[in-house]
């Protein structure tokens, strides 16, 4: 439940900051500033995976379970060619489960993780895949703000 609340707050923050942020504009103008942006919640069973994208940028948040490659089918169906940012919210296997496969099969520009370590084989595979990839690696801190394409992120909290 706590992870779901975090993701909701996180995505709400993204959607709100992706808008023009001038709240005195009309509803029509605000809707136009979000046109082309898309948030897709993938059904990966127990676990999470969310795709954010606009005309220029593709961001994937979490990758679903280690034993269910459904996210790969969704990415293919959505014609994802590369990923600008892969955010792995925490190291549980139902959130990072397919990250190693994604890093091996997609050009990923940057990976964000919260810095928590885990002893699972899934976590070890993901860390190895990050190290073997050409992706930049970041561990953002609460209060950090970053703009990735048309999306602005503010890190509110880290999962523990």
Q: What is the pLDDT of residue 15?
A: 45
* Residue 56 Cα distances to 37, 80, 82, 148, 149, angstroms: 10, 12, 11, 10, 6
Task: Read off the pLDDT of residues 2-26 as tens digits, 9 standing for 90 and up.
Answer: 444 444 445 444 444 444 333 333 3
CA 71 – CA 44 distance, rounded (Å): 7
Q: How confident is the model at residue 70 (pLDDT cuts 50, 70, 90)?
A: very high
Is 50 exceeded by the pLDDT of residue 136? Answer: yes
**pTM recorded for the entire structure:** 0.79
pLDDT above 80: residue 27: no
In the prediction, which pLDDT does 32 show?
40
- The pLDDT score that the predictor gives to residue 111 is 98
- Listed in sequence order, the residues at least 6 apart from 145 whose beta carbon sits closer than 8 Å to its beta carbon are 152, 153, 154, 155
Query: What digits encode the pLDDT tens for the residues 75-128?
Result: 999 999 999 999 999 999 999 999 999 999 999 999 999 988 999 999 999 999
Question: In angstroms, rounded to a whole number, what is the distance separating the alpha carbons of residues 78 and 42?
Answer: 11
pLDDT of 135 strictly over 70: yes
57-84 average pLDDT score: 96
Residue 146: pLDDT above 60? yes
Mean pLDDT, to the nearest integer, of 57-61? 97
What is the pLDDT at residue 160? 57
């Amino acid at each position: 439940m706590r992870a779901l609340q975090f993701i909701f707050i996180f995505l709400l923050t993204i959607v709100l900051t992706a808008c023009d942020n001038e709240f005195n504009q009309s509803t029509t103008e605000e809707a136009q500033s979000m046109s082309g942006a898309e948030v897709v919640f993938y059904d990966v069973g127990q676990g999470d995976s969310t795709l954010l994208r606009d005309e220029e940028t593709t961001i994937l948040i979490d990758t679903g379970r280690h034993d269910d490659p459904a996210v790969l089918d969704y990415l293919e169906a959505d014609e994802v060619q590369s990923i600008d940012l892969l955010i792995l919210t925490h190291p549980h296997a139902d959130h990072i489960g397919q990250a190693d496969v994604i890093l091996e099969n997609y050009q990923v520009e940057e990976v964000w993780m919260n810095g928590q370590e885990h002893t699972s084989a899934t976590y070890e595979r993901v860390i190895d895949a990050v190290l073997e990839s050409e992706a930049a690696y970041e561990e953002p801190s609460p209060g950090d703000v970053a703009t990735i394409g048309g999306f602005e992120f503010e890190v509110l909290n880290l999962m523990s």
